[in-house]
Amino acid sequence: MSRFDRQRLEDILAAIDAIRSHLERGSLSDGLVFDAVRVRLIEIGEVAKALTEDSQSDEPDIPWTEIARMRDRLSHRYFDTSHAIVAATVDGDLPELEATVRRLLEHAVEH
């Protein structure tokens, strides 16, 4: 794994940590919290776009393309972003993504 990819994966973990911090301040029903979480999801999608195919192929069960597409939707169609979709992403998808990113980083250190 390239140093660039390691750095990008660490960026994903930082964004996930920031999302948790935002949610400690309030729920997604709070407009400021929602916007802050949305921006961090955009960052995660941007990283997914930037990862090399080698890194993505190491974890084929993660829908890297869908993560990137969500970034595009959150960035360009922000007025019709569904709170339910963002909540489902935060609650259902981020824990799996975090575990995968940690696994990729651990594997990179071992090799």
Domain extent for 103: 3-110
Whole-model pTM?
0.88
Domain count across the chain: 1
Catalytic residue among 3, 76, 77, 111: 76
25 is catalytic: no
Three-state DSSP string of the chain: CCHHHHHHHHHHHHHHHHHHHHHHHCCCCCHHHHHHHHHHHHHHHHHHHHCCHHHHHCCCCCCHHHHHHHHHHHHHCHHHCCHHHHHHHHHHHHHHHHHHHHHHHHHHHHC
* pLDDT for the residue numbered 17: 97
Catalytic residue among 71, 77, 102, 103: 71
pLDDT-derived band of residue 47, with 50, 70 and 90 as boundaries? very high
* pLDDT for the residue numbered 66: 92
71 is catalytic: yes
Arithmetic mean of pLDDT, 52-60:
86
* pLDDT for the residue numbered 79: 65
